[in-house]
Structure 1
Amino acid sequence: MKAGFVNIFGRPNAGKSTLLNALIGEKLAIVSPKVQTTRHRIKAIMTEDDYQIIFSDTPGIIEPKYKLHEKMMQAVKGALEDADVALLIADVNEDPALSHAIFSALRLRVPAIVVLNKTDKTNVARVKEITEFYTQQSYCRSVVAISAAKGFDANAFLAPILELLPEGDPFYTEDDISDLPTRFFVSEMIREKVYELFSDELPYHTAVLIREFKEKQTLVKIVADIIVHRETQKAIIIGDKGSMIKKLGTEARKDIEAFIQQKVFLELFVKVKPKWRENDLQLKEYGY
């Protein structure tokens, strides 16, 4: 039996969450074209007869500008400390020097596989050129080129990872797919809709707090607060005569019902908490 932690690192929007979801076959990490969508370290557990891999999606590596960013980078640091194998994911279409600077700064003590993502948006010559670049780097054990969004051969992808994993007993039961509670994923599904429905800076000023999660006989009742910085942001999320909050709630409810396989009654409130991203107590309350 092989068992270990395979942690995914990279720049914002390289495709870490898309890769995690594709490997597990479940939507555990929310996905958005906007950068810095992932704020937590999300563990996804893959268990087969002869191995257990605990994949970790981590926030995109950035220079922290406020305390929320600092919490996000602490999640990256924690993932560095317990990794058995690192997956260094890079957008094959970007200048490789950008990701190389980050990968070098990680000072990895474990073997690393560089994953070149978004191959569907380039040509074979470009993939070959970038593969050669990373092959020459001291932190790189091997290079794999994929399109996480379009699909790839999971068995071929896992083969070099399994070679590097240590032998050992499983860390989790075979039924576990994550170490995080259902409430966490529900809050993330609501937050994802904020990213989908609203533009500019508003999603980055938003957090979601699940205040009630009650399983009743026929449905699950969920009450959640959407936290914003300013009254103007609250007005935008509510929309004209409540149109936007209604749309957000309807779309989030569909995703939550699909995820928990139960009917859901979802009630959303919008609350203004100025500068919550800088407030330690509020960050803790919102799960950071």
Structure 2
Amino acid sequence: MSDTDDGVTERPTTYRAGFVSFVGRPNVGKSTLTNALVGEKVAITSSKPQTTRRAIRGIVHRPDGQVIIVDTPGVHRPRTLLGERLNDLVQSTLGDVDVIGFCVPANEPIGPGDRFINETLDHFPRAKKVAIVTKVDRAGKEKIAQQLLAVSELREWDAIVPTSGTEGTQLDALLMEITKLMPESPALYGADAITEETNEERISELIREAALEGVRDELPHSLAVLIEDMVEPDPDDDPSGPLRIFANLFVERDSQKSIVIGHKGERLKDVGIRARAEIESLLGGRHVYLNIRVKVAKEWQRDPKQLGRLGF
């Protein structure tokens, strides 16, 4: 920005705004990078693959433009109807964005999954292509240099940027490159907008994030959360009372239900404590009462009706 003689701050003469989608295999750091760029937690993160299940928009405001990041599920070989729908979601998202950021971690060799995703980018000729080497905090300089070279050989990129969402490395450089590739446009969202996600959607995801901690094998994929009700305190009887949140945590089998609940309910209690802390932070420190019930929805990942009920 620049100041005029009368002290009024002006935008740069060329202002750009548009959409970028980060794609890559599951667990390559897309959601961590999204949160780091937005400056706020808009997408849950986990070490478990396929944590992201929706196209989540995070909005970055810059003096020279507005970057709307569309965080998508990781592209994978689907084994369920849910997996097919998540892959379809990625494909439909890529058809609408201005820039595609292909994420490859610095600490893992490029494999068949990366090459497959790179090839699918040819189906979206309208979008500019940026290669993002993520997780540089987990690799040495030599390894990073080797990965940058390997990525550069995949195709002709509009830009290649090494970065780390965890350490905040090269975030401004990445945003600068992405902004330059956006179309000239006025801002698409208001100055205070951070995400399109509602509080209810963000709360359900925070509960699922807490439930993902420490679970193994197929259980992470079997977890889903629906908010049943959010009850405000009575302004006459209890004006300073907590926001009461009632949530259903779904699994696919009775054996999974017992794992989530844990011995004498200890594990579910721990999930509730961690989720409530995140929810209260999201709501600006507001006191929350959180009630989580674990329910079985048999094979919901393969059932069209149950997928629809759970929002997929």
Normalising by structure 1, what TM-score? 0.95
Q: 1:147 aligns with which of 148, 158, 164?
A: 164
Determine helix, strand or coil for the equivalent of 1:233: helix
Aligned-partner Cα distance in 2 for 1:141–1:100? 18
1:228 alignment counterpart? 251
Deviation for aligned residue 1:49: 3.9
Name structure 2 gaps, 5 residues minimum. 1-14, 234-238
Deviation for aligned residue 1:191: 0.5
Q: 1:279 aligns with which of 295, 299, 303?
A: 303
Deviation for aligned residue 1:125: 2.0
Letter of the 2:94 counterpart: L
Q: 1:20 aligns with which of 31, 34, 43?
A: 34
Q: 2:209 aligns with which of 162, 178, 192?
A: 192
1:31 alignment counterpart? 45
Aligned-partner Cα distance in 2 for 1:131–1:267? 47
Determine helix, strand or coil for the equivalent of 1:96: coil
Per-residue deviation, residues 77-117 of structure 1 (Å, max 9, x unmatched):
12211110111100122222431331112323111110111
Q: 1:170 aligns with which of 179, 183, 187?
A: 187
Aligned-partner Cα distance in 1 for 2:92–2:156? 19
1:202 alignment counterpart? 219
Aligned runs of 1:28-177 on 2, under 5 Å?
A: 28-98=42-112, 99-107=114-122, 108-109=124-125, 110-177=127-194
Identity %: 36
Determine helix, strand or coil for the equivalent of 2:95: helix
Aligned-partner Cα distance in 2 for 1:129–1:198? 34
Aligned-partner Cα distance in 1 for 2:62–2:146? 35
Aligned-partner Cα distance in 1 for 2:109–2:227? 40
Letter of the 2:250 counterpart: I
Letter of the 1:221 counterpart: R
- Once the two structures are overlaid, the 10-residue window that deviates more, 35-44 or 168-177, is 168-177
Aligned-partner Cα distance in 2 for 1:118–1:247? 29
Cα 1:246–1:86 change in 2 (3 A) is same
- Once the two structures are overlaid, the 10-residue window that deviates more, 98-107 or 52-61, is 98-107
Aligned-partner Cα distance in 1 for 2:151–2:288? 47
Q: Is the 8 Å Cα contact of residues 135 and 141 (structure 1) preserved in structure 2? A: no
- Once the two structures are overlaid, the 10-residue window that deviates more, 2-11 or 130-139, is 130-139
Determine helix, strand or coil for the equivalent of 1:183: helix
Determine helix, strand or coil for the equivalent of 2:77: coil
Aligned-partner Cα distance in 2 for 1:41–1:91? 21
Task: Tell me which structure has the larger Cα radius of gyration.
Answer: 2
Per-residue deviation, residues 229-263 of structure 1 (Å, max 9, x unmatched):
11111112122222111111111000000011111
Q: Is the 8 Å Cα contact of residues 193 and 252 (structure 1) preserved in structure 2? A: yes
Deviation for aligned residue 1:139: 4.7
Per-residue deviation, residues 44-67 of structure 1 (Å, max 9, x unmatched):
011234311100111110111111
Cα 1:93–1:197 change in 2 (3 A) is closer
Cα 1:210–1:252 change in 2 (3 A) is same
Report the number of matched residues: 288
Q: 1:254 aligns with which of 243, 255, 277?
A: 277
Name structure 1 gaps, 5 residues minimum. none
Q: Is the 8 Å Cα contact of residues 48 and 220 (structure 2) preserved in structure 1? A: no
Normalising by structure 2, what TM-score? 0.88
